Amino acid sequence: MYRYLKKHYWWHNMKREIAQFVSQCLTCQQVKASRQRPAGLLQPLSIPVWKWDDVAMDFIIVLPRTIKGYIVIWVVVDRLTKSAHFIPGKATYSVERWAELYLQEIVRLHGIPISSSLGQVGERVLLGPELVQKTNGAIQRIRARMQTAQSRQKSYADNRRNELEFNVGDHVFLRVAPAKGILLFDKKGKLSPRYIGPFEILEHVGPVAYKLALPPSLAAVHNVFHVSILRKYVYDPLHVLDPEPLPLDGTLYYEEVPVEILAKETKMLRNRAIDLVKVLWRNHQVEEATWEREDEIRTK
C-alpha cells in the first residue's frame, strides 16, 4: 500500500502509520494467507527405555473381505525396535473384543507396555544371564543411535520453523479450511475466510499448544490447538467482532454451500466433454465464484 500511496501523498511517519493501519485491518487478519515459516518447533517423542515398553497402533480398514470375514488389520508397532504385529479383525468388533485380542496377541508375548504419557520410567537395571546382559547392551546402542538421529532430525526441522509463543489472556485467530469435496477448475477466491475469532487463550498446554475459550457454537471442537494454526490478533477499537459464525465441524472444516448458478459452459477434453457451471458460494462475493462440474453440483 505504501508503494502506491507515496506516488501521490506524503506525510510525516507515513510508512510506519500505513504499516500499523494494515496490521490492524480486521479483514486482512482473517483472510490474508501467512507468508511466514510454520510456527512451533519440532517436539520429538521420548525414546523408550526397553523394547515393547511403548507401542504405537493404527487400523487399516475397508480391505477386501477374507474367507473368515476379516476386513480390518490392527497394526501394533514397538516404537523402539519397530517390530510389529498385524492382527486381523472385523468391523463389528466391540471395544471389549479388541481388548481381548490385545491381551492375546501383545500382552501374552511382551507383557504390559508402559505408555510414555505416564511419565519417565527411568533406566531399567537388567540382571540375569549373559544373554540378557548382551541384549541390554544392544538396546542401549539402539537408543543412542535413535537419539542421535532424532536430534539431527529436530535440528533440520527447526531450521524451517519459527518459535512462536503467546501469553495467557492474549487473543488469537484460529485457522479453518473449506471442504467442498469437489474438483475445482479455478483457484479459490482470495477473500475466502481462513481464520475465525478472535478467541482468548486460557492456558498454555505443553510447549506448542494452547487452550482457547471457544463460543457455544464450537462446542463440538476440542479447544486445544497447535500454535501453527493460531494467528495473533492485533487490537483496534474500531473493530466489530460479531460476524455471522461459520458452520464448522469437529475438525475445523466448514462446508461451502452453493447459492446460485451464474453461468454454464462445456469444457472439451481429449476424449469427452464436461459440463461446467459457475457457482456462487455462501459467504463469498460474486467475483469469487468458481467453475465446478455440473454433475457434482447436482448431487449437493
Query: In CATH, what number is assigned to the domain containing residue 278?
Result: 2.40.50
- pTM to 2 decimal places: 0.57
Residues 152, 190: one domain? no
Q: Provide the pLDDT confidence category of residue 150 given band limits of 50, 70 and 90.
A: confident
Q: Which of 35-39, 42-46, 107-111, 219-223 has the highest mean pLDDT?
A: 107-111
The stretch 264-272 carries a mean pLDDT of: 83
Q: What's the Cα-to-Cα distance from 1 to each of 27, 160, 192, 236, 291, rounded to whole Å?
A: 15, 29, 21, 19, 31
177 shares its domain with 231:
yes
The Cα–Cα gap between 288 and 191 comes to 8
Beta strands in 61-122 (DSSP E): 72-78, 84-89
Q: Are residues 62 and 148 in the same domain?
A: yes
Q: Which domain holds residue 183?
A: 2-37+167-250
Please say whether the beta carbons of 100 and 121 come within 8 A: no
Q: Beta strands 253-254 and 195-205: pairing type?
A: unpaired
Helix H or strand E segment including 201: strand 195-205
CA distance 187 to 113: 48
Buried b (16+ CB within 10 A) or exposed e, 238-249: eeeeeeeebebe
Residue 162 resides in a domain: no
Is residue 75 domain-shared with residue 222, that is, in the same domain?
no
Quick check: 256 and 282 in contact, CB under 8 A? Answer: yes
pLDDT of residue 247: 58
Which cell is 292 given? 465446478
> In the listed set 250, 274, 291, which residue is the last one of a domain according to the structure?
250
Percent of the chain residues topping a pLDDT of 70: 80
CB 162 within 8 A of CB 39: yes
Q: Is the domain of 105 the same as that of 244?
A: no
Q: Do 76 and 136 share a domain, yes or no?
A: yes
**Predicted pLDDT of residue 127:** 41
CA 291/CA 185 separation, integer angstroms: 6
Instruction: Tell me which DSSP letter residue 14 carries.
Output: H
- Measured between alpha carbons, how far is residue 275 from residues 226, 268, 270, 279 in Å? 41, 9, 14, 13
pLDDT at position 230:
92
| Residue 45 falls inside a structural domain | no
Instruction: Give the model's pLDDT for residue 17.
Output: 83
